[in-house]
Structure 1
Amino acid sequence: MSSGVDDLSSGGTTAGTEAPAATGGLTRPPGLRLPAVVQTLLFSECRHWLFPLLKRRYGEVFTLRLTTPTRHLVILSRPEDIKTVFAGPVEVLHAGEGNAIMGPALGDHSVLLIDEDEHRRARRLLMPAFTGAALRGYEDMVTKLTRAEVERWPEERAIGSHRRMQALTLEVILQVVFGVTDEQRLQQLRPLVRGIADIGPVTLLGLPYPLLRRVGPWRRHVSLQRRLDKLLYAEIADRRRAADLHNRTDVLSRLLQAEGAEGSQPGENRFTDPEMRDQLITLLLAGHETTATGLAWALHELVRDPAELARARKAADEGDEAYLTAVAKEALRLKPVVYEVARQLSAPLTVGGYRLPAGSTVMPAIGLVQSDPRHHEQPDAFRPERFLDGQPPANTWIPFGGGARRCIGAGFALMEATVVLRELLQRYDLRPDRPEPEAQRAHHVTLIPKRGARVVVTRRR
């Protein structure tokens, strides 16, 4: 895809910067003049410090140029500009095109990669599996899997909580979402799913290029995809034929039950097998790594704040789910797992004071708006109670995106996080392996703890 925007002029600017450029009355914000390949590497590996730096230098709206199909990015950090994007016409603001870099990893039918009528249809078919009643049905299984996992945690030595949370959320995906309970199939799926979910940023950026997919890490990823697809298609086929389908409560079975209630033929009211495969892969990649990372950051912050840890432990003992959910929300505010979301313009649109041409990609910067002291008092402090005193101002806490494209699994993720925190804090006292906080590190589209959010646990007496 072409950005449809001309290269920026450097006339009259300081070395290394760009002034707004105009093309037929269309303008674009300032930004770096570094080569696009350099900007691409900076964006993929260290956007969490690059974006704040560029905001201080250029203001609350700025531009990046990439070598990927989405070539020109306009970064936004004002709530009013983010509102323009989230509440704007879906016919103009295409999230699917904005997420195009994920296409080879997710599949063409993924709800993250389609727009307009296709997206509305897919979201309508997915919604029955994520209602409040459905979430309550999943909680017992999440609790059971969590208890089994945390009972295996070794005591009195440092462990990487991020890796342990990944193991747990993998089981949740396989058993609660995919509905796989056969141990032989689970043993086949686990290494494939881990390999798919562990895709690095360089591998992700290179997947759209056919030549790269024949070599190195790209070839390995394609091989994993093919093997996983074979198992997923077999699982879908078996589930469609299952005599006990209507007694099953996993996400895949709920999706198939909803289909049966509306019609049995592929089309408007039913996912085809390839469509179902792409939605399952999307739920896997969107729900496995992100939830595990959010939980790891929550533990990372709790163990470095004895007062908040004591309050969270008390909440776990008393069944105060509101406070435990607030802990999860505050961790997502302070350490956003995903730093930005994207929309590609299918027509010109005025955003942030600039008339942007079709083909531009606008990016509400989750990390920038959530760390702004104008919206969150003491933004560098871990204060879960800020989510007990009322909700933050609109479009200032957006870890799940917003508008018509808000993450469909947001409720599931918060339910899972609340259950995990409750079960873990009821069993263990926790402390950090060292007092210094861990840095953020880019891992494909997420930001993870650099040392794995290492903690030491001791069983409570």
Structure 2
Amino acid sequence: MSARPLPPGPRWLRPLNFFQAGLTPPVQVLARLAARYGDPFRVSYFSRPVTFTGNPEALRTIYTASPDCFDVWGGGFIEPVFGKASVVVISGDRHRQDRNILAPAFSGPAMRADGATMAAVAEEKMAQVEVGRPFRMLDVTQRITLDIMIRVVFGMQDAARVTRTRAAVLELIESLHVVLFLFPSARRVLGGHGPWARNQRAVDALAGLLLEQMRARRASGTLGDDLLGRLLAARYDDGWGMSDAEILDQLRGLLFAGHEATATVLAWIFYWLGREPAVHDRIAQEIDDLGPAPSPEALAALPYLEVVCKECLRLYPPVVDPARVVRAPFELLGYTIPAGEVLRASSALLHSRPELYPEPWRFRPERFLERRYSPFEYIPFGGGARRCLGAAFAMYELKVVVATIVRHHRLRLLGSQTVVHARRALSLGPRGGIPMIVQERRRGPQ
């Protein structure tokens, strides 16, 4: 039997396309390639062949395959964020064991118990915004999600420690210059100057604070049942626990994934609520109908609020084009992906398919009331064995935070220009941070 062909595509990705994909949201480049060559398509990317697909049947094949078919690709590129031991970059038995350790901290009972804290943090941060004074929504949502991570996931309640940790995380994010991801050779300390030196200082500062928290837990004799406590108490199949360095990588990776990505989606939600007053008013009425003191659980169950969050996740998914290396020749829709090559499941391509999402660039939450999408047609958190661990937690947090802010504040978007989705180091986000003002505080129904 003859070997199946490789997916079609250009032999090399042109330098212009390479820099466009690295410095801007990749969907424009990917869409042009898919239109020309079909889906899946194959290009030489970062000096090795990569196959991209946003085809639902191809995604079904990938996500239902054994996780042992794949290794993680790109760990070296994202090391400035996730380190070497985070669950994001490891694979095999260690990956399965680490997911089992971390999963209970993001389970339904755990997140529901934290709903009141999520709402309180959102209200606290919004109360610090002056009525009528311009502010950047992304700045506020970053403060909200970061404090939720620090207080809920890592159990820090002391105000001084929360303040220091918050500053250290923000400095780490600011140190993530895009050049460190595009060109690993730039990761050199040049006399204490340059982006890598700044990044390493930020990594060390955050590590010092997290080590303080770990030592305090151990000294207290009560590790706790939050994520940090679970990491400290965890034991692998061989009886050994995680080293401090491994715990630090897990904490740092989860801080970034649970803070930056969620904050960005929240900011986009408020952008669209500002652009679409009818959508805002429908959510506000849905919240008011719950009465004067709705529980976080009741807020999270609101159906229209949920589809608004889903539509923003479709347009701005936190997980963009995750990469896998195939360990053995992998059959995909009549093509063969050779062993050692890279396969990328592209939410950017999938979520812009007009046969699934008519008028794909239009913000239209109602599409999620009209149709139920399969796990191979809607993948804002990835899929399969490597689907984002905190997906349910993040969705719950989005709904509680949005509902809390809408219930008590009337916001207005500043400026009439469309906000651009732009590259922000490893992640994507709204250029300019979405300028807004608080028009008034709302008391809600009595």
- State TM-score, norm by structure 1: 0.86
Change (3 A) 1:216 1:38: farther
* Structure 2: tracts of 5 or more residues without a match: 291-298
Q: CA deviation at 1:368?
A: 1.4
Instruction: Give runs of aligned pairs for residues 37-436 of structure 1, distance below 5 A.
Output: 38-46=16-24, 47-67=26-46, 71-94=48-71, 96-198=72-174, 199-207=176-184, 211=188, 216-246=194-224, 250-256=226-232, 259=234, 267-268=238-239, 270-319=241-290, 320=299, 321-389=302-370, 391-436=372-417
Residue 441 of structure 1 is matched in structure 2 by: 422
Letter in structure 2 aligned against 1:222: Q
Local SS of the residue matching 1:121? helix
Q: 1:338·1:447 contact (CA, 8 Å) conserved in 2? A: no
Tell which deviates more after alignment, 348-357 or 407-416. 348-357
209-218 or 394-403, larger mean C-alpha shift:
209-218
Change (3 A) 1:53 1:346: same
Q: Distance in 1 between matches of 2:149 and 2:102?
A: 16
Q: Report the residue type matching 1:218 in the other structure.
A: W
Q: CA shift at 1:316, angstroms?
A: 2.5
Q: CA deviation at 1:207?
A: 4.3
**Residues 338, 436 of structure 1: CA spacing in aligned structure 2 closer, same or farther, 3 A cutoff?**
farther
Q: What SS class does the counterpart of residue 388 from structure 2 fall into?
A: coil
- Alpha-carbon distance in structure 2 between the residues aligned to 1:437 and 1:452: 12
What's the offset of the Cα at 1:24? 8.2
State the aligned residue count: 428
Residue 455 of structure 1 deviates from its aligned partner by 2.1
Bigger Cα displacement from structure 2, 368-377 vs 406-415: 368-377
* CA–CA separation in structure 2 for the residues paired with 1:445 and 1:391: 31
Q: Which whole-Å deviations, capped at 9, do the CAs of 1:142-178 have from their partners, x for residues lacking one?
A: 1111110111122224321111111111111211122
Percentage of matched positions with identical amino acids = 32
Q: TM-score, normalised by structure 2?
A: 0.88
For 2:78 and 2:137, the matched residues in 1 are separated by 27
Shift of 1:118: 0.8
**Residues 325 and 99 of structure 1: is their aligned pair in 2 closer, same or farther, counting only changes over 3 Å?**
farther
Which residue of the partner structure matches residue 296 of structure 2? none
Q: CA RMSD in A?
A: 2.5
CA shift in 2, pair 1:144/1:253, >3 Å? farther
Shift of 1:421: 0.6
C-alpha deviation, 1:124, in angstroms: 0.7
Runs of 5+ unmatched residues, structure 1 = 1-22
Deviation at 1:441, TM superposition (A): 0.3
State the secondary structure of the residue aligned to 2:90: coil
Matched residues in 2 for 1:219 and 1:338: separation? 28
Q: Give the residue type in structure 1 aligned to 2:96.
A: R
Tell me the alpha carbon deviations over residues 23-73 of structure 1, each in whole angstroms, 9 at most, x when there is no partner: 9876243126355x54442221121321122222222222333337xx322
The offset of 1:134, in angstroms, is: 0.8
Q: Structure 2: how far apart are the matches of 1:29 and 1:223?
A: 44
Question: Structure 1 residues 318, 275: closer, same or farther in 2, change over 3 A?
Answer: farther
Q: Do the aligned partners of residues 116 and 430 (structure 1) sit closer, same or farther apart at CA in structure 2, a change above 3 Å counting?
A: same
Equivalent residue for 1:11? none
Contact 1:266 1:272 in 2 (8 A): no
